Every structure is written in structure tokens, then in C-alpha cells.
Amino acid sequence: MSNQNTGSAPYVLPPLPYADNALDPVISANTLGFHYGKHHKTYVDNLNKLVAGTDLADLSLEEIITSTAGKADKVGIFNNAAQVWNHTFYWNSLSPKGGGEPPASLKQKIETAFGSVEVCKKELATAATTQFGSGWAWLVNDGDKLQVIKTGNADLPLTKGMKPLLTIDVWEHAYYLDYQNRRADYVNAVLDKLINWGFAADNDK
């Protein structure tokens, strides 16, 4: 998740960590094709156009995000950089062999913070389903305490001094082809079958 720009080379669309049909039937290859191949790619292409020839062009995504957050004249750059970062993080938050129990170290921290893994999942589901409009639900480490937050549009925990562990995308393009307006069904299926607790545990180190 660090610098996806090497010197003067453009930002690139990182490869998916699995085949485009690997998340079937929870997320179809059709949805993944549009979401990754169209939406995510467009954010990468837009970012390259917006930063070309500027002093931002050699920065990491994280540096672009933190240096443009909250600046009205840089909102387009922030939105596209944040969405490139968010989507890359989202793909890694999912796994064809996801769901189940978190690794022991993370499970202990979840139980301390929420009481149980099931309560944590319920809080993630609530955050994801109650986010009005487009946005994200996150499990974050905030000062060494785990909590669930939600953000709107392109916003992300990096702008709030929090460390993201995993995320669920609740923009309509993440689920509409498969679930239409049934966001809750998509969220619950992701949490039960795809959520990558191992990725979250790695981010918590």
C-alpha cells in the first residue's frame, strides 16, 4: 500500500490479488470486471492526468492524500488518489477463502474492543448499511484501540489519524449488478464469506 509511483512513471492499476471469478458467487466476475477494470482504472487514469507536471507527481499515494485533504483547490486530486488507495485496500480486504475466525492475536483485540467477533461484524454491517449514499465501512486501530467507523465518498481513516485494518466498499457500483438495492445482503455475504481477517491482522502489526 505504499508508493505506487516509481520516479516519473505514472501511477498504475495494481493487479488483483486473485482471479476475477475467485469471489463468485458473493461478488461475480461481472461486478469485479466493471468495478476493478472500469471504476478503479478510471481513478488511476484521472490521478495521472491531474498530477502530471506538478510537484505531487513523485509522491506516494499516502503523501498525496495527506497533503491534499481538506484543500478546496485540490479536491479532485484528493478524491482520485484516495479512491485508488481505498480500492486497492478493499481488494486486499477480501479473500476467496475469507470469513471464519480472525488470527488469534487480532481475535483477542477484537474481543477486548467489541466483546466478540460477532459483535464486531454486526458493527461493521451497521456502519456499512447506514452509510448514507456512497462510502466505506472500516475496522481501524485508533490509538491502539480497535473501532468501526464509516466514511463518505472518498474519505478514509488516513485523514483522521487512524490506521485502517480492513474496509467494505458500499458505493453502489460495488454491489448493484449482483444485489441491486439489497446492500445489506451484499455486506453480510462479504462479512460471512470473503472478509480477510489475515490482512487485517497484518495491518495491525
Binding-site residue positions for Mn(2+): 35, 87, 169, 173
The answer to whether 127 touches 190, Cβ cutoff 8 Å, is no
In order, the DSSP letters of 48-104 are: HHHHTTSTTTTS-HHHHHHHHTT-GGGHHHHHHHHHHHHHHHHHHTB-TT--SPPPH
Residue from 36, 1, 43 nearest 20 by CA:
36
Burial 152-186 (b: 16+ CB within 10 A, else e): eebbbbbbeebebbbbbbbbeebbbbbbeeebeeb
- Residues marked as binding? 35, 87, 169, 173
The answer to whether 173 touches 33, Cβ cutoff 8 Å, is no
- Collapsed DSSP state (helix, strand, coil) of residue 151: strand
The answer to whether 120 touches 204, Cβ cutoff 8 Å, is no
Answer positive or negative: Cα dihedral of 172, 175, 178, 180.
negative
